[in-house]
Amino acid sequence: MVSQRRELDSERQIKETEEQRKAREVRPILTFESLIANIVTSQALVAQKEAIKSEVNTTLKAFYCELCDKQYINVAQFDEHVRGYAHTHKLVCSLHHSSLCYLTKIGPKAIQGDDCESAPERC
Ligand SMILES: [Zn+2]
Q: What digits encode the pLDDT tens for the residues 53-80?
A: 998 888 888 899 999 999 999 999 999 9
Distance from the CA of 29 to the center of ligand 1, in angstroms?
58
Percent residues over pLDDT 90 in the chain:
29
Which candidate, 105, 80, 110, 79, places its Cα nearest to that of 93? 110
Distance from the CA of 81 to the center of ligand 1, in angstroms?
6
Distance from the CA of 59 to the center of ligand 1, in angstroms?
17
What's the CA angle centered on 120, arms 115 and 123, to 5 degrees? 115
What is the helix (H) or strand (E) element at residue 80, kind and residue range?
A: helix 75-83
Q: How many helices (H) and strands (E) does the chain have?
A: 6, 2
